[in-house]
Amino acid sequence: MNDSALRQLVHPPDWRNPTPSGTYDLVVLGGGTAGLVAAIGAAGLGARVALVERHLLGGDCLNTGCVPSKALVRSARVVGEFAGADALGVTAEQVTVDFARLMDRMRQRRATIAVNDSAARVQRSGVDLYFGDASFADAQHVVVDGQRLKFGRAVIATGGRPVAPPVAGLETSGYLTNESVFSLTELPRRLLVIGAGPIGCELAQAFGRFGSLVTLLDQSPRVLPRDDADAAAIVQKQLEIDGVRCELNVRLQDVKRSAGGTTVSFVGAGAAGAIAAHEGDAILVAAGRAPNTEELNLGAAGVEVSAQGVLVDDYLRTSNRRIYASGDVCSAFKFTHAADAMSRIVIQNALFYGRRKASALIIPWVTYTQPEVAHVGLSATDAQASMGRVASITVPLSEVDRSIVDDEVEGFVRVQHESGRLRGCTIVAPHAGELIGQATFALTQRATLSAFSATIHPYPTVGESFRKAGDAYRRGSVTPALKMWLERYFRWTR
């Protein structure tokens, strides 16, 4: 399987669009996660649905995001395991990375998963699938490939795209983004990564472990600026161990190409603002995204839009009450699982006059570096700003037996609580993404730390840290006055 196998599934070259007739209950623009969930879900409930996709079904997640990046992260994790093998009493021979093979493996796994987002599956679900560029003709019609589709309700789920910062010379430098980096067949000897957010950190670490000389640049003073500062510090330390040079708190000046490579000049925070430069064989830009709205002719449909995306209310309804939006095109939470959850709300609100609110969603997120960083709900910063209303409890992995025997003690589980009720959680651990679901479920169910303490966790596991957090809360609830009364009780009962 390869890229041609992928395309055969998610945009068959011999596909013929159906001929529209009558009114669709729902027309969905965009065949990524948000669009697929909305279209297939609505069709499964009996609605007459059309789905329009201009390029590849599966969207960013399948083609240029979650799936290919995690395939590379998996290979990079093996390299990291070998690097730490000696501490575990295992002598490993020198590791050789076959970049072409691991990229081919990534494409094979992507093609395997593509069956779930394929045109055949969409068609089997009872959805009329159209490939082509779509735009609104008016408040009740969409035009695609010269055909007019009339709708009772519509969903805009066109997602977003990577954007580059306005740096002189960057546009002509031939830079990579997440849309092109997975097409590489040769490992760049020197890779410059602009942007130290999740995508930048994940790929910088992976390519560093594969053998590239990686420099990570960002105007922020630390990596992962949206995450817990302590978590970011652990990730940065590991990035540097993996050979990534972090140039942070810098302002990019210009990009110049030459026979020897591409040079990025920047002004650093120190040395009185002196100009420095790094040369690379490739540049990867991971510094922001923009919504895909320009070609939709939203004005004709009466849909308001801003630079951040389609404007929606808490019910995910646009300024045209017949049209809704879901996913990256309208949300600050640009995650596949968020798009999925939002589209479930859209189905209920658009087709069944529901009143479900997007603000009620409890959305976790994960950065898949090693160690991983996962978060949901309130953060430690939120707790500090609450004037004592919200408190934090931190369980270092150095106090968790499984982490100790695994030699993976760089990390922690940190919970935020309000009088014992869980309000948020941050985890830094090798498999933090697998653990955060426990905290997300607890938040959804309005659970308490006492419930964690009373739940039997298997030993030894990293998940046991949640019980430790619950035990710490219970110990803290024993006030001096209560302890005094307990001491009297035991004296009386001896």
pLDDT digits (tens, 9 = 90+) for 33-92: 999 999 999 999 999 999 999 999 999 999 999 999 999 999 999 999 999 999 999 998
CB 466 within 8 A of CB 438: yes
CA neighbor of 482 nearest in space, from 470, 474, 472: 474
CA distance 150 to 52: 13
Other Cβ atoms less than 10 A from the Cβ of 175: the count is: 21
Res. 330: pLDDT tops 60? yes
pLDDT single digits (tens) 173-193: 999 999 999 999 999 999 999
Tell me the pTM. 0.94
Q: What is residue 448's DSSP assignment?
A: B
Note the pLDDT of residue 487: 83
- Looking at residues 251-277, what average pLDDT do you find? 84
Q: What is the mean pLDDT of residues 326-352?
A: 97
Residue 468, pLDDT above cutoff 90 = yes
Assess whether pLDDT exceeds 70 at residue 1: no
> Would the pLDDT of 427 be above 80?
yes
**In contact, 182 and 106? CB cutoff 8 Å:** yes
Predicted pLDDT at 271: 53
Residue 326 CB: number of other CB atoms within 10 A? 35
Percent of the chain with pLDDT strictly greater than 70 = 99
CA distance 426 to 360: 20
Average pLDDT over residues 136-152: 96
Tell me, letter by letter, the H, E, C secondary structure of 234-280: HHHHHHHHCCCEEEECCEEEEEEEECCEEEEEEECCCHHHCEEEEEE
DSSP 176: B
Q: What is the pLDDT of residue 259?
A: 82
CA angle 124, 130, 133 (to 5 degrees): 155
Dump pLDDT digits (tens) for 291-306.
Answer: 999 999 999 999 999 9
Bridge partner residues of 145 (DSSP): none
> How far is CA 223 from its chain centroid?
16
Q: Which burial class, exposed, middle or buried, applies to 387 when counting CB atoms under 10 A from its CB (0-12, 13-18, 19+)?
A: exposed
Q: What is the pLDDT of residue 272?
A: 57
Q: Given phi > 0 = left and psi -120 to 50 = alpha, else beta, which region is 342?
A: alpha
Q: What is the spatial distance between Cα 253 and Cα 463, in angstroms, rounded to a whole number?
A: 46
Q: What is the pLDDT of residue 480?
A: 82
| pLDDT value, residue 483 | 78
Whether 273 shows a pLDDT value over 70: the answer reads no
* Whole-number pLDDT of residue 2: 63
Residue 4's pLDDT is what? 87
Q: 442-457: per-residue pLDDT in tens? A: 999 999 999 999 999 9
Tens of pLDDT, residue by residue over 370-417, are 999 999 999 999 999 998 899 999 999 999 999 999 999 999 999 999
In this predicted structure, the answer to whether residue 120 has a pLDDT above a threshold of 70 is yes
Q: How far apart are CA 75 and CA 78, in angstroms?
A: 5
Average confidence score pLDDT of the chain = 95
Averaged pLDDT, 196-201 = 97
CB atoms closer than 10 angstroms to residue 12:
15
